[in-house]
Structure 1
Amino acid sequence: MKVRVTVMLKEGVLDPQGKAIGHALGTLGFAELGEVRCGKVIDLDVPANDAGAAVTQGEAMARALLANDVIEDFSVEALS
Structure 2
Amino acid sequence: MKARVVVTLKNGVLDPQGQAIEGSLSSLGFSGVAEVRQGKVFDLELDGTDVESARSQITAMCDKLLANTVIENYAIEISN
The answer, yes or no, to whether TM exceeds 0.5 is yes
- The corresponding residue for 2:23 is 23
Question: Hey, what does 1:70 align to over in structure 2?
Answer: 70
Aligned equivalents of 1:23, 1:74: Cα separation in 2: 26
TM-score (ref. length: structure 1): 0.91
When normalised by structure 2's length, the TM-score is 0.91
Write the letter of the residue equivalent to 1:62: C
Residue aligning to 2:36: 36
Q: Distance in 1 between matches of 2:73 and 2:39?
A: 10
1:45-60 matches, within 5 Å, as 45-60=45-60
- The whole-number CA distance in structure 2 between the counterparts of 1:3 and 1:48 is 12
For the Cα contact (< 8 Å) 1:2–1:54, is it kept in 2? no
- Which secondary structure does the structure 2 equivalent of 1:20 belong to? helix
Is 1:46–1:57's contact at 8 Å kept on the other side of the alignment? no
User: Offset of 1:46 from its aligned partner?
Assistant: 1.7
Percent of paired sites with the same residue: 51
Aligned residues: 80
Unaligned ranges ≥5, structure 1: none
Give the SS at the match of 1:75.
strand
RMSD over aligned CA atoms reads: 1.1
Alpha-carbon distance, 1:44 to partner: 0.8
